[in-house]
Structure 1
Amino acid sequence: MDRNIIVTGSTGNLGTAVIAKFKREGYQVIALVEPGSDVELEEADDVYQVDVTDEKAVLAFAKEYNLQYGELDCVALLVGGFAMGSLEETSQSELSNMFSLNFFSAFNMVKAFLPAMKKANRGCFLFVGARPALEKASGTHALAYALSKGLVIDLAEFTAHEVSGTQIRSHVFVPSIIDTPQNRESMPDADFTQWVSPADIAEAMHYAVNTGALRNMTFKLYGGV
């Protein structure tokens, strides 16, 4: 029987690392990319163009998924974005953008796939938080980002309560600075060895999914920072 994982944000640095890890471990990978994307994901088994910030689009995909694949082992909720700005510098539109990318992209997927998981009494949601959402002092320079990631962490906790007493699990992965080409370019003088690699996060996600004794965990992946 196939072990199926859906990965949103598949074209990002973390997304490609997660796809590679789970594919190596024998999973069937269903990758979601934004509409209009021309990025090729050779390691994914199937690729769908879905705007995960659009509730109707996600519900339509969930219906198709249930017909095509059936059971679902895991959903990796990796769509996200970052924006700088203090409280006084942050506009409502910037808040809306961060909430859409970081929170609604996860909320829509959980809402759409939770019924099937409940029916099967199995499955796992993998959320991505952020250190500034937990340590408020470090988030003052990126308020909209920190607030939106805080909502993601809250959503993971609410999901855990929703599925209490079932075999469905909800895990949160909270990195500090992820070692990506984009972050290296924006912070060229930083010590990259202290950052967290996307591969390390992917390893942690695979471990969490495949260790049934772990339930509703928060993994702090801070590296040496």
Structure 2
Amino acid sequence: MPKTILITGANGGLGAATVKKFLDKGYKVIAVDQSGTHLGFAAAHDNFELKSVDATDEAAVSNFMEEIIELYDNIDGALLLVGGFAMGDIAATDGEALRKMFALNFETAYFFARPLFTHMLEKGYGRIVFMGARPALKPEQGKGVLAYSLTKSLLFHLADLLNATAKGKNVVASVVAPSTIDTAANRKSMPDADFSAWVKAEDIAGLLEFICSEEGNALRDPVYKIYNNA
């Protein structure tokens, strides 16, 4: 039986690359987003399903997770890739800006992680991966993207709390912290940058697959810094 992997933010640049990697490796993929225009390559694949869910709506996520767990019985891994970015130092970051980033970067992950973690503990196996960010680990880079950095930093602490709860069990929360990801959107917003120094979405997808694979089975409390030369 192939492992069943849930991928949120599946229609983004990283999400689409991750869906392709996991399908190529033989996993069953449940892709979650509000649209699927970048996922046409997967539409006819036997191991692919696309579900439309508003990740910012806790009730919608809760209902979806109840349905999907009942349908599949076992969710082996979850890659929680939904997030958002905003510039702004402390002078430019008011409460509204902070709440927006909190909703996009933390709540979207927490709403999925909560039922998934409980399910995985009951089943005795599971991998949850949060998408962190380098500015959350490096204050000199994070000070100009304050709300983004603060809300991404919460994911590292959440992973620590989940791993402390799951100690001694085969359920692990990981955080992947990339530098700038080489996507079409990032190239458009930074046309003069050295794209070769960025991290390719396909390389991150490969790391995510390793985390969920048997080869990564012994890892605990992991944080993965994937920066390339950026």
Contact 1:127 1:172 in 2 (8 A): yes
- 1:74 aligns with 77
2:166 corresponds to which of 155, 163, 172: 163
**Partners in 1 of 2:68 and 2:38 — Cα distance?**
20
Structure 2: distance between partners of 1:59 and 1:181: 32
The aligned counterpart of 2:26 is 26
| 1:53 and 2:60 aligned | no
Show the counterpart of 1:90. Answer: 93
Q: Distance in 2 between matches of 1:53 and 1:160?
A: 24
Shift of 1:214: 1.4
Which residue in the other structure is 1:175 paired with?
Answer: 178
- What is the match of residue 136 of structure 1? 139
Instruction: Name the aligned partner's letter for residue 137 of structure 1.
Output: E
State the partner residue of 1:223: 228
> In the aligned structure 1, how far is the partner of 2:211 from the partner of 2:199?
17
Gaps of 5+ in 2: none
2:105 is equivalent to residue 107 of structure 1: no
Q: CA deviation at 1:72?
A: 1.1
Structure 1: give runs of 5+ residues left out of the alignment. none
The answer (yes or no) to whether the contact 1:58–1:112 under 8 Å persists in 2 is no
> Which residue of structure 1 lines up, in the alignment, with residue 154 of structure 2?
151
Counterparts of 1:109 and 1:157, CA distance in 2: 17
Report the number of matched residues.
223
Cα displacement (A) at 1:2? 3.1
In structure 1, distance between residues paired with 2:22 and 2:140: 35
What is the TM-score normalised by the length of structure 2?
A: 0.94
Query: Cα gap change, 1:180/1:118 in structure 2, threshold over 3 Å: closer, same or farther?
Result: same
Question: Counterpart in 1 of 2:37?
Answer: 39
Shift of 1:153: 1.4
In structure 1, how many angstroms separate the alpha carbons of the residues matched to 2:77 and 2:184?
28
RMSD, aligned α-carbons: 1.2
- Give the aligned partner of residue 195 of structure 2: 192
Residue 53 of structure 1 and its aligned partner are, at CA, apart by 1.6
Q: Distance in 1 between matches of 2:185 and 2:118?
A: 37
- For the 8 Å contact 2:12–2:38, the answer to whether it is kept is no
How many angstroms does 1:41 deviate by?
A: 2.5
Query: Match of 1:173, SS?
Result: strand
Identity across the alignment (%) = 40
CA contact (8 A) 1:87 1:140 kept: yes
Cα-to-partner distance string for 1:48-94 (whole Å, 9 max, x where unaligned): 11112211111101110112111111000000000000100012111
Shift >4 Å, 4+ stretches: none
Comparing 125-134 with 207-216, greater Cα deviation is found at 207-216
Displacement of 1:38: 5.5
**Matched-pair contact (CA < 8 Å) for 2:16–2:38:** no
Amino acid at match of 1:6: L
Cα shift readout 1:142-166 (whole Å, capped 9, x = no counterpart): 1010001001111111111121111
Secondary structure, aligned partner of 2:182 = coil
**Partner of residue 217, structure 2:** 212
